[in-house]
Amino acid sequence: MADDGVLYRVYERRLARELSTLPLPQHLGVIVDGNRRWAKASGASTEEGHRQGAAKITEFLTWCEELSIPLVTVWMLSHDNLRRPAEELEALFGIITDTLGELVDAGYEVRLTGNADVLPEEVREQIRCRQERGRVTRELAVNLAIGYGGREEIVVAVQELVRELGAQGLEPDAIAERITTEAIGEHLYTRGQPDPDLIIRTSGEQRLSGFLMWQSVHSEFWFCETYWPGFRHVDFLRAIRDFCKRERRFGA
C-alpha cells in the first residue's frame, strides 16, 4: 500500500500537469503572514521564524519559475510593522537585506516596492549596495515590498503627480483635471507593471491590510490557514489551480 509521501507526490504531479494546460497569472502577489505564530507553535524564536519565512520566499520563487510566472510581489515588511519592538526590527532588517542580496546574486531582477525613506539610513544603504551589484539572468522579476503601506503609496503617488504638474506652472483647476486614474497609476511603486492577477495570503487572515490597494481592484484572492514558513508546494499549486478555474469578468 502506498505511503502518504508517495500519494502526496502523485497528487502534486497531477496538479502540475493540470496547470500546464491552463492560463496562469502573470503577476502574483503574496502576503507572507504568520512567521511569528509559526515560531511560537514550533518553540522557536521570533527571529528564527522570520528567517524560516525568508527561506520560504526563495523556495516560493522557484515554484513560480517552474510555471513561468513572470512577476511576483512579496510583502516582507509593512509600514505598520515599523512599530514593532526595536530588537525584532533590527533582526528583520538584517534578514530582509540578506534575502534581497541572495535574490540579486541569484540573478533575479529585484525592485524595491515601498517608501525607502521610512527605513533607517544604514538599511537603505545596504539595500542600494546589494541592488547595484546584481546582474539579471532570470526571467522572473521580483518586487520586494519593504516599508510598504497601501494608503501611503497612493498619497506619495498623488503628491508626486501634483508637484510634477505644479512645476509646469498649471493653475489648481488645471492640475485637478490632470489627476486621473491613469496619471496616478504612472506614479505608483509598480508603475509600468501589470496589476496582480492573484494575491495569496497565509496564516488564516482574510484581509489585504492595505496590500496593493490601488492595483488589486480586479485581483483574485486566495487565503489559507497555513503559516508562511509551512506553506507547501502543493498549497501553491492549489492556489494557482483555484485561480485558473475562476471566471474573471473585471466588473463587466
**Would you name the residues annotated as active-site residues?**
33, 81
208 assigned to a ligand binding site:
yes
Identify residue 96 by its one-letter amino acid code: I
HSE of 116 in the Cβ direction (CA atoms, 13 Å)? 15
Answer for the pair 33, 228: CB distance below 8 angstroms, yes or no: yes
Cα first-last separation, the chain: 50
37 assigned to a ligand binding site:
yes
84 assigned to a ligand binding site:
yes
35 assigned to a ligand binding site:
yes
Please classify residue 100 by burial: count the beta carbons closer than 10 Å to its beta carbon, then call 0-12 exposed, 13-18 middle and 19+ buried.
Answer: buried
33 assigned to a ligand binding site:
yes
135 assigned to a ligand binding site:
no
Sheet strands side by side (includes 198-201): 109-113, 141-148, 71-78, 27-31, 198-201, 220-223
**Burial readout 111-133 (b: 16 or more C-beta within 10 A, e: otherwise):** bbbbbeebbeeebbebbeebbee
Query: Which residue in 38, 31, 120, 129 sits closest to 76, CA to CA?
Result: 31
242 assigned to a ligand binding site:
no
219 assigned to a ligand binding site:
no
How many other CB atoms are there within 10 angstroms of residue 71's CB atom? 22
38 assigned to a ligand binding site:
yes
92 assigned to a ligand binding site:
no
80 assigned to a ligand binding site:
yes
As a whole number of angstroms, the distance between CA 147 and CA 114 comes to 5
Residue 95 DSSP SS3: helix
Compute the Cα dihedral for 96, 202, 25, 234 and give only its sign: positive
Compute the Cα dihedral for 186, 187, 191, 194 and give only its sign: negative
User: Which residues make up each annotated binding site for Mg(2+)?
Assistant: 33, 220
Q: Binding site residues for substrate, as ranges? A: 34-38, 50, 78-80, 84, 201, 207-209
Q: Which residues are annotated as a binding site?
A: 33-38, 50, 78-80, 84, 201, 207-209, 220
